[in-house]
């Protein structure tokens, strides 16, 4: 298999309310009786920092879509599946959607591990229940031949090489590569370690594994000190970052001074700066989607988001509010493009349109390849400055 290239988003479309993909006003012949979609992710619990802002964005996307006419005049109802990053919880909630033919798709799930644990149930439904995830990046999400799988974000085998190349370009010499013992983090850390070995053999790599929910990192910090690492790469979904960087600093390793830090999507979170008492300052974090503020076509959405949730809401929105809005747009447009028969829309038709159509989103056009991956992606790079994660640039590899 040829590894997909990383491309910066091009030909950005100007998208406002109309970009949500609503159709002409409905008539008795083409107006569906009921249309529902689900939003799924960790909206509470220890990963709520990545979920809450995404859920708000999905709610805003549905509100904008309905305001523009909905599906031939029928407003879309949003149901919420708070899976709390738990596959068993996710499967139970998805079962309710699978059994309800008016639930035409899911925005999410957000976590790769949840997707990989539940995807066969979604694929095996009759008809299958499609999803468009805003953040699940594991290669297997779309590499297993399941027609239900779609995402608007980059894959691990796109993000990992870009992260490794960034450290190479920064003249890293000794890199501590860590994961948090999850499907997502282990796979991504493995890709980074392999890229460094293949493309920069003079860089020495030390590998360590943390645990989800771990708070005591003294043993790992001692190993990092003994290794004399000048960079730490930590693939993590967020909860472990604050105590880890605090313990680095307590051991005399200050980010931006005598050690550098590159995290991933869950660490593109300004709340880590406060919760680590500033130890996270100067840390970098890559994200499998670009900063919406750097995308001209997202400007109107950001304005509406602030109007809906408060002037300071973007700083609290987390790493996936832009991709969540875009994922909702994709699913809603696919539904709006599907035929209505006897007041109903079939999930099979929604799947067909997801596979064939081009969708206009706040992050630019989305067109899927045969796997359900976007043909054009951008990866954002952020740095902890002051009280915010500040966009540095888009990185490619």
Report d(CA 347, CA 352) in Å as an integer.
9
Annotate 189-226 with DSSP letters as a single string.
Answer: HHHHHHHHHHH-TTSEEEEEE--TT----HHHHHHHHH
CA angle 166, 171, 177 (to 5 degrees): 60
Listed in order, the ranges of the chain carrying CATH 3.40.50.2300 are 17-154+292-375, 157-287
Q: What does the pLDDT read at residue 28?
A: 57
Distances (CA, A) of 262 to 161, 165, 192, 256, 274: 13, 12, 11, 11, 18
What does CATH list as the number for 157-287?
3.40.50.2300
Distances (CA, A) of 104 to 173, 214, 248, 297, 371: 50, 38, 47, 27, 20
Report d(CA 209, CA 185) in Å as an integer.
9
For residue 177, give the H/E element and its range.
strand 174-179
Does CATH number 3.90.330.10 belong to domain 17-154+292-375?
Answer: no
Residues 6+ apart with CB under 8 A from 239: 46, 47, 212, 213, 266
Tens place of pLDDT per residue across the chain (397 aa)? 333 333 333 333 333 444 454 444 555 568 999 999 999 999 999 889 899 999 999 999 999 999 999 999 999 999 999 999 999 999 999 999 999 999 999 999 999 999 999 999 999 999 999 999 999 999 999 999 999 999 999 999 999 999 999 999 999 999 999 999 988 899 999 999 999 999 999 999 999 999 988 999 999 999 999 999 999 999 997 789 999 999 999 999 999 999 999 999 889 988 899 999 999 999 999 999 989 998 999 999 999 999 999 999 998 898 999 999 999 999 999 999 999 999 999 999 999 999 999 999 999 999 999 999 997 788 999 999 999 999 987 765 4
Report d(CA 173, CA 70) in Å as an integer.
54
Q: What does the pLDDT read at residue 10?
A: 32
For residue 261, give the H/E element and its range.
strand 260-263
Annotate 33-75 with DSSP letters as a single string.
Answer: S-EEEEEEE--SSTTHHHHHHHHHHHHHHHHHHHHTTTBTTBP
The pTM for the full model equals 0.86
Q: What does the pLDDT read at residue 184?
A: 86
Q: Is 204 exposed, middle or buried (0-12, 13-18, 19+ CB in 10 A)?
A: middle
Widest distance between CA atoms in the chain: 73
Report d(CA 345, CA 102) in Å as an integer.
8
Say if residues 15 and 333 touch (Cβ distance below 8 Å). Answer: no
- Phi and psi for 28 in degrees, rounded to 5? -60, -30
């Amino acid at each position: 298999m040829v590894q997909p290239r990383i491309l910066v988003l091009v030909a950005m479309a100007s998208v406002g309310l109309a970009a949500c993909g609503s159709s002409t006003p409905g008539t008795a012949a083409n107006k569906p009786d009921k249309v529902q979609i689900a939003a799924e992710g960790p909206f509470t619990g220890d990963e709520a920092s990545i979920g809450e802002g995404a859920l708000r964005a999905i709610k805003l996307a549905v509100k904008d879509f309905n305001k523009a006419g909905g599906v031939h005049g029928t407003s879309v109802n949003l149901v919420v599946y708070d899976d709390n990053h738990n596959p068993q919880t996710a499967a139970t909630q998805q079962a309710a959607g699978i059994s309800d033919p008016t639930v035409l798709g899911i925005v999410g799930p957000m976590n790769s591990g949840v997707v990989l644990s539940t995807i066969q149930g979604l694929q095996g439904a009759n008809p299958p229940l499609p999803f468009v995830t805003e953040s699940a990046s594991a290669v297997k999400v779309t590499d297993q031949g399941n027609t239900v799988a779609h995402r608007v974000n980059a894959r691990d085998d796109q993000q990992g090489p870009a992260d490794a190349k960034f450290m190479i370009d920064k003249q890293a010499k000794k890199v501590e590569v860590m994961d948090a013992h999850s499907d997502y983090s282990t796979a991504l850390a493995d890709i980074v370690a392999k890229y460094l070995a293949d493309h920069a053999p003079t860089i020495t790599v030390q590998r360590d594994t943390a645990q989800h929910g771990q708070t005591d990192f003294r043993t790992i910090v001692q190993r990092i000190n003994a290794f004399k690492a000048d960079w730490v790469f930590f693939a993590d979904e967020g909860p472990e970052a604050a105590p880890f960087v605090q313990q680095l600093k307590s051991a005399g390793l200050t980010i931006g001074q005598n050690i550098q830090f590159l995290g991933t999507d869950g660490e593109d979170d300004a709340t880590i700066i406060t919760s680590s008492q500033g130890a996270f300052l100067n840390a970098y974090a890559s994200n499998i989607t670009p900063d919406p503020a750097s995308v001209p076509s997202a400007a109107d959405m950001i304005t509406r988001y602030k109007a809906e949730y408060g002037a300071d809401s973007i700083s609290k929105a987390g790493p996936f509010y832009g991709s969540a809005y875009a994922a909702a747009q994709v699913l809603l447009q696919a539904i709006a493009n599907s035929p209505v028969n006897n007041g109903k829309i079939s999930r099979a038709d929604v799947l067909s349109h997801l596979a064939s159509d081009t969708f206009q989103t706040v992050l630019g056009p989305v067109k899927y390849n045969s796997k359900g991956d976007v043909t054009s992606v951008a990866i954002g790079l952020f740095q902890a400055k002051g009280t915010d994660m500040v966009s540095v640039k888009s990185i490619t590899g």
